[in-house]
Every structure is written in structure tokens, then in C-alpha cells.
Amino acid sequence: MRLPVHRRPLPWRDPEAVVVALGGQGDVSWDDAGPGASTGRSVVAWGPALTASGPDELPAAWAELRAVLADGRTDADPLGPTGWLGYGVGTWLLDRDATVGAGRGAPPSVTAGLVVDPDGPADLALLLADRALVFDHGARTVEAVVLGDDRWLSDVARAWHDVAEVVAVDADASASAPSLDGPRRARRQHDDAAYLALVARCQRAIADGDAYVLCLTTTMTVEGDLDDLAVYRRLRRSSPAPHASFVRVGPTAVLGASPESFLRVDVDGAVSSSPIKGTRPRSSDPGTDAAAAAELRANEKELAENLMIVDLVRNDLTRVAAPGTVAVTELFAVRSYRHVHQLVSTVSAVLAPGRTALDAVETTFPAGSMTGAPKRRAVELLAGWEGRPRGVYAGAVGRFGLDGSASLAMAIRSVVVERATPRRPARATVGVGGGVTASSVPSHELEEALLKAAALLRVLDAVP
């Protein structure tokens, strides 16, 4: 028997004030329309957690996720699984046909040269959201939605009286949090020389015909206790983004300012992916800023890299799309954000009859914009060279609707905050990278990686 869905209107409150009051501790997901939003919607959701890591746990979790989504009910928006699929989920999906690993058939967590972190975040962490608050920023309305027992509606209505009508923007929520002792030093997985050497290694592999483009990544780590929500409140003001989100599951929180849509699927089966390849810094001088955008739009290396990933996405979607529906609906658009200009393309399709959003994830994940091409060989090479799991970074964050829809953003421009364990202190990690081609200038690749890290490290009061 299907559980009933109950709804109740509530007086308007800013989503940030609500999360501060009701989501400061414990599992929570916040799909964030941004500070001062006047359009769109934000969703704050809760529910039991589904987590898994590695090839021993992921098959059962994936089967459970598929079962949860099989009902196809249309009356429960926005309820459904919400959280992250780490990059390890993508390597596991690729490896189910024994094509990625230290040897054919090797578990994807045992790739060549890879040191697995037993204390790292779960590869898959989803809240099976059965309670949510929906904020319509245009209409200035709030609706509480619950699946099953409706007593939660009364509970949240009582708690509403303690939620501030106007969010307080204190030092914790300002754009930076300077320390009296100066910024902390982030520990880099690869220093300048090591990263440049990896860029050269990628280019040798491309020259040898092993790949066309390789998305090389690295990690920066800041140790010490951090208030995940306070850091996110700084991040959402300093780096507003179209796919901003805050997700806390168990000991890990993912603070996202992603500009990139990995996969969108609507209830009618229309699907799209918008890979980003190509980045330039913004400038406060209008002329310099416009010149940077124009240079990005005309740069042969960036255009070639973007086009290769567009072709990869087209190929991926063809495997689940109705014949003749795959199309490039946007090519080489420059989109400008607070800190960077980026080169974006969009590939669209319609799912074939019987295919689902989860099928689309299975055929497109990990995203080509974070692997390179050809995908399987790129994943195999990079796993050995990068030297550690990517974790949440380069995966996807978002939600699956019980109505068959999905909205997943790339887990880039993100900070992953983890509580301390008996084996290590609390830490925050920032993943960055970029696509390497035969025509890449190694020093420019290093500059791009440091540029992408800078805004994220600032909210941690850290420097590379």
C-alpha cells in the first residue's frame, strides 16, 4: 500500500534561517537557490540514510535505490533520494564489466598505484527524503511535505515559531573568516613540480595514442575542526552558483557551489547534460574581463577539449536515448560567474521507452568532463597517476524524484568537511583539476587548478 503524502503551508522564512534553526546537526539536505533569491525554489529535506562504499556494498545499495524509484508516483514532489554519488560509484559502474582496475576484473577501489583511504567519505550517501520544506522564492511561500505519518507537520509548525524571520548575517556567514594568526596552509596532494610532471605525463599518453584528453585532478586538505554549516554560509555568499547545495550525511558534509549540470531528467523523459570545459578568471576591469571571455570563446585548445567531451556525452546518451533524439542544443557558450568565465555546451535527448533516470546515470557516470576521452582508458590511467581516490569530488550531488525525474550537478567547486576519526583529525578537502590536451601549456594548467581552488580555500581561511 502506498503511503499518503501530506502537505501544510507555513509562513515565509528564509531557507538559511530555517537550516540554521532546524538543520544545524544531523543528516540534512539543502538544495539552495542562493542568498536573496527572488525566483526558483529551495528544498530542505530529511530522511533515513542509504550509504555504501566499494564493490562489496554498492551492488546492494544500487538495487535498493532502484527499488525506491520503481514506484513512479507523481504526487510526492520533492520527496525522493537526495545526496551524493561519489566518483567511486562511477568507477564501480564502469568496472561492472571488468574494464577498469589494476587488472581486468580487479575491484575499482584497487586501481594501480591507488592508496585507499579507509576513513574517507562514503562513495554513495543518499537521504531517502520523506520530509521536506519547499521554498518558492517568487511566490514567497513555504510548504511542508511528508510521506506517511503526518505528525511531523505539527512538529515543524511548532518549531517554526523559533525560526528567525530575517536571517542574521554574522561573522560566521560573511564572505571570509580571517584568523588572528593569519590563514592556514592547505596541504597539497601535489606541489607545483609534481602537478606539472603529471601534466607532462598526460601529454605523453596523448602523444602515444592512449587518450585524446585527460582530466587531471588533485586535492588540497585543511585540517582542524570546522563548522560545516558556517563554512557553507560563507561559500554561498562568496561564490554564488546555479547548483549550490549543502548535504550532511553521517560524519561528512558536502558544501557545493557547482556551476555544472551533470544530468537533468524530467518526468517526460527529456534528458540533458551540460559539460563545462574551459575556464578563465574574471577581472574587476570591464575591458579586461570582456577580453578574457572573448579569448575563451575563441581559444582553439579549449574549443577542442570541449568538443571532445560533447562527443563523449553524445555517445553515452545514445545508449539510453530514443533513436534520433540526441542533439547538441548548445555549443561553446560562455557563462560568467563571480570568479570565472566558463565554456559550456549542452547535449539533450529523450529516454527510450522503458529507460529511467537511473539508467541514464549508469550509462553516463562518471561524467566525461571529469574523466577525459576515451572514458574507460582515461579513468584507468588517471587512477594510477593521481595516487588517491577522488572521493566525492568529480562525482555528482543532487536528487532523484519519486516521479522519475532527476537533477544532478557535478561535485566540483565543493568543500568536503569530515569529522575527526580515531586515526585522523577533522579535515576539509578541496578537489580541483582541468582537462589536459596535446596543446596544453603545463604552466597554464597549474594556474587553472590554483584559480579554481582559491575561492574555496578562502572560505576555509587557508592558502595553497
Query: Which letter does DSSP use for residue 120 in this model?
Result: S
pLDDT bracket for residue 39 (50, 70, 90): very high
Per-residue pLDDT tens over the stretch 396-406: 999 999 999 99
Out of 89-103, 247-261, 264-278, which region has the weakest mean confidence (pLDDT)?
89-103
pLDDT bracket for residue 95 (50, 70, 90): confident
| DSSP notation for 373-419 | ESHHHHHHHHHHHH-S--TTTTSEEEEE-TTS-EEEEES-SEEEEE-
Read off the pLDDT of each residue in 284-289 and give the average, rounded to a whole number: 95
Render the burial of 205-233: b for 16+ CB within 10 Å, e for the rest. Answer: bbeeeebbbbbbbbbbebbeebebbbbbb
Is pLDDT above 80 for 219?
A: yes
Tell me what pLDDT residue 154 has.
Answer: 96
Tell me what pLDDT residue 178 has.
Answer: 54
Is pLDDT above 50 for 106?
A: no
User: 440 or 119: whose pLDDT is higher?
Assistant: 440
Closest CA to 212 of 379, 372, 439: 372
Tell me what pLDDT residue 104 has.
Answer: 33
pLDDT bracket for residue 107 (50, 70, 90): very low
Render the burial of 244-256: b for 16+ CB within 10 Å, e for the rest. Answer: bbbbbbeebbbbb
Per-residue pLDDT tens over the stretch 296-334: 999 999 999 999 999 999 999 999 999 999 999 999 999
Closest CA to 378 of 167, 94, 183, 181: 94
Tell me what pLDDT residue 101 has.
Answer: 45
Q: Where are the beta strands (DSSP E) in 225-302?
A: 243-249, 252-258, 261-265, 270-273, 276-281
Closest CA to 383 of 64, 183, 44, 101: 101
Tell me what pLDDT residue 464 has.
Answer: 87
pLDDT bracket for residue 105 (50, 70, 90): very low
The CATH topology of domain 48-129+169-463 is Anthranilate synthase (3.60.120)
How many other CB atoms are there within 10 angstroms of residue 356's CB atom? 19
Q: What separation in angstroms does the CA of 276 have from each of 124, 206, 335, 346?
A: 23, 21, 10, 9
- In whole angstroms, give the CA distance from residue 284 to residue 280: 13
Out of 48-52, 118-122, 270-274, which region has the weakest mean confidence (pLDDT)?
118-122
In the block, cell 536573496 appears at 36
Per-residue pLDDT tens over the stretch 364-389: 999 999 999 999 999 999 999 998 99
For the chain, what percent of residues have pLDDT higher than 90? 85
Is pLDDT above 70 for 94?
A: yes
Is the CB of residue 337 less than 8 Å from the CB of residue 258?
Answer: no
User: 123 or 105: whose pLDDT is higher?
Assistant: 123
Retrieve residue 119's grid coordinates. Answer: 576513513
Task: Look over the chain and give the mean of its residue pLDDT values, rounded to a whole number.
Answer: 92
User: 95 or 66: whose pLDDT is higher?
Assistant: 66
Out of 104-113, 229-238, 309-318, 407-416, which region has the weakest mean confidence (pLDDT)?
104-113
Retrieve residue 155's grid coordinates. Answer: 512538529
Per-residue pLDDT tens over the stretch 139-196: 999 999 999 999 999 999 999 998 988 787 764 555 555 555 678 899 999 999 999 9
Query: Which letter does DSSP use for residue 98 in this model?
Result: T
Per-residue pLDDT tens over the stretch 421-456: 998 999 999 999 999 999 999 999 999 999 999 999
Read off the pLDDT of each residue in 202-225 and give the average, rounded to a whole number: 96
Q: What angle is formed at CA 172 by the lines to CA 170 and CA 175, rounded to 5 degrees? A: 90
Render the burial of 344-353: b for 16+ CB within 10 Å, e for the rest. Answer: bbbbbbbbee
